Amino acid sequence: MRKLFIIIPFLFIGLLPAEDGLRESHNQEAMEYSEEEEDDDEELELNYSANLYLGYPVYVTETFSYYDKSNPVVGLSIGTPFGFQAGPFYATVDVEILRYIFEGTEASKQANYIGKKFGGMAYQVGVNTGLFFNEFSFSITAATGVYHDGTGFIGGVNLDLPLGDMPIEFRVAARANMIQKSDGITGWVGGGISLGYEF
């Protein structure tokens, strides 16, 4: 019996370091999990961003059989954190400046379009809604604003791809454009790329 009373305290003494080790391991795992959650929150945070866009029309309406030369479409868009976020889903307000020019050449179907130009600057505001997939983002853009000859509308889909650890994103975009002209409505569908920087 005396041996039993002597052994029991040593057992408790032996268990204490093991219990402390388990607590340290559990605390370390909890801290690592908390850090991962913080990293995820940082990745999903909405910020200001600037994107330079370069695209080209790949399908045009009948109007552009007269303005038969298509030029690259260039633009600058500013993404804002104004909006909301629910998990991986987000919606933000964006503003954009766009330049587009179509020209009539000697190959135009109508002689009175030769040497003429259609286009100018566009100033738009819109909504960008999308989903985060880890470091990737898929979004849909809808914007409207003032064009050179009236109002216009753009609808598009975007895929943002990160470039390593750099704060720069590469975007692939497809866009449908509908704008007013003096005698109706015209438009085009185009594709493009952009480079963006998130502040």
Q: What CATH number labels 46-198?
A: 2.40.160
> Which of 22-31, 51-60, 128-137 has the least mean pLDDT?
22-31
| pTM attached to this predicted model | 0.73
pLDDT at 183: 80
> Which of 71-80, 146-155, 161-170 has the least mean pLDDT?
161-170
Mean residue pLDDT across the chain: 83
pLDDT at 164: 81
Flag whether pLDDT at 109 surpasses 80: yes
Contact assessment for residue 157 and residue 131, using Cβ atoms and an 8 Å cutoff: no
Per-domain boundaries in the chain: 1-43, 46-198
